[in-house]
Structure 1
Amino acid sequence: MTIEVYRINPETGVRTTVRRKHAVKPVEMVEVGQKYPPCMCARCEGRTELLRAKLAEVNRRSRGEL
């Protein structure tokens, strides 16, 4: 299986390659479920812990513990 990412100019119709064609090996066994795996990109990495900490703080405030 191959994948290529490109952008098309709506005015001229010119196709500009964003990422060159790349071969992708399919997985052997598909995981059954409806949830997405956690994002591990540089922008999102570590946000899960930050969100959990903020949620814990909000919960403590709502219980009057702070």
Structure 2
Amino acid sequence: MGTVSKVLEQINQYVWGLPTLLLLVSTGIILTVRLKGLQFSKLFQIKKAIDNSYYFWKNNLQKR
């Protein structure tokens, strides 16, 4: 059981190390470029939608 645990621990350290970090960062950069900075250009629309949703649920829960 100890050997299996050690092997799994080494695999875990490799997978969640530099390769995953590079994959996540590069995916974020690629999506930002391909979507033309969608998360920045629509920031105020996103905030407005979240605020409206919050106040909608808050008001409906108070009526109960």
TM-score range, shorter chain: 0.3 to 0.5
Query: If the length of structure 1 is used for normalisation, what is the TM-score?
Result: 0.34
Higher helix share: 2
Give the structure, 1 or 2, with the largest relative contact order (CA under 8 Å, sep 6 or more): 1
Structure whose residues are more often strand by fraction = 1
